[in-house]
Amino acid sequence: MKVLITLPFLISLCFAATKYNSELDGYSYPFKVETFKLSSQNQELKMAYMDLKPEKVKKDKVVVLLHGKNFAGYYFERMANDLVDAGYRVIIPDQIGFGKSTKVRAYQFSFYQLSYNTKSLLDSLGIEKFDLVGHSMGGMLATHMTYLYPKSVTKLVLINPIGLEPYLKFVEFKDPAFFHDIEKKKTANKMREYQKKNYYDGKWSERYEKLLLPHIGQMNGKDWDLVAWNNALTYGPIFNEDITSKMSQIKNKTFLVIGTRDQTGPGRSWKKAGETHKLGDYKELAKKTFKRFPNAKLHVLKGLGHMPQFEDYKKFSSVFLPIFN
């Protein structure tokens, strides 16, 4: 029997042998990685970040890109390059617990803490004002950060953010050990199938596969239990910190870029008994969220899901890049 050897198959085979430690040593980011050392909660931590500077920077034009839960700053390469070409300085941090930043055994994770950490990084770079872009969980963080530092954020851009509904109203509260158990049972194929179903409408490509490499490498590595624990701890803010109640208080100019095919609904598998609310209906959530912000503009991307910047970059960038002109 002949075995069909395809490029995706070879990539998957290569990934299966890849091993990374908790800080992704050996995994190359698209740009030079810097380190910001901070003291937080009686711990000395390291926050990795990328700092891109065009030859001619527009005065006070800085964009900060905040990554989602299942990624880190490395997946912003194409967006960052376009923003640099437009004359912007671009800062891309890995939050504590993610990517190349420190993984912790004990930490009180909250979006306020992560906001404070990020603001401390920007302060160290002498950046006082900035545009703030958040994707997925990064959208929840960006909303909290704008709420906390309204005079620093010149505009808020949310790309398919999660948190557009108060999850604990509909789902059961879970201890971090619950999420740790889920993380420990993950496999490369389970991660692939989850993203394929929930992010890409049942389709898959080599581009999507490459985004899994850091996660698969850490799953194969010696620090997987520590990484899995950090993955578990960082679910806490998603469920515990509602952003919908803060939206009406954010007066900053806000842009919502929403792929309406998105069905991302954290906690769907552990709804409260008898709960019938449909989680993750972004087509409706986009409209409700737009009405909550006092100064918002909604860009609807029909036919795209949770990762519009990867599914169809041409369509995505046609609404995203003009925001910064």
pLDDT, tens digit, 9 for 90 and up, residues 209-249? 999 999 999 999 999 999 999 999 999 999 999 999 999 99
Both tokens of 51, joined, read 């700092």
In a domain, 115, yes or no: yes
In a domain, 20, yes or no: yes
In a domain, 1, yes or no: no
Residue 293: per-residue pLDDT: 98
In a domain, 214, yes or no: yes
Tell me: the pLDDT tens digits for 48-75? 999 999 987 666 799 999 999 999 999 9
pLDDT over 60 at 137, yes or no = yes
Q: Whole-model pTM? A: 0.94
- The structural domain count of the chain equals 1
pLDDT over 60 at 181, yes or no = yes
pLDDT over 60 at 9, yes or no = no
Range of the structural domain that residue 202 is part of: 7-324
Residue 61: per-residue pLDDT: 94
CATH number at residue 299: 3.40.50.1820
What number of other Cβ atoms are within 10 A of residue 83's Cβ? 24
In a domain, 52, yes or no: yes
106: CB partners within 8 A, 6+ apart = none
Both tokens of 313, joined, read 């970059």
Residue 3: per-residue pLDDT: 47
Contact 24, 100 (CB under 8 A): yes
pLDDT over 70 at 8, yes or no = no
In a domain, 2, yes or no: no
The mean pLDDT of 116-131, rounded to a whole number, is: 98
Burial 220-255 (b: 16+ CB within 10 A, else e): ebebbebbbbbbbbbbbbbbebebbebbeebebbbb
In a domain, 183, yes or no: yes
Q: What percent of the chain has pLDDT over 70?
A: 94
What number of other Cβ atoms are within 10 A of residue 312's Cβ? 15
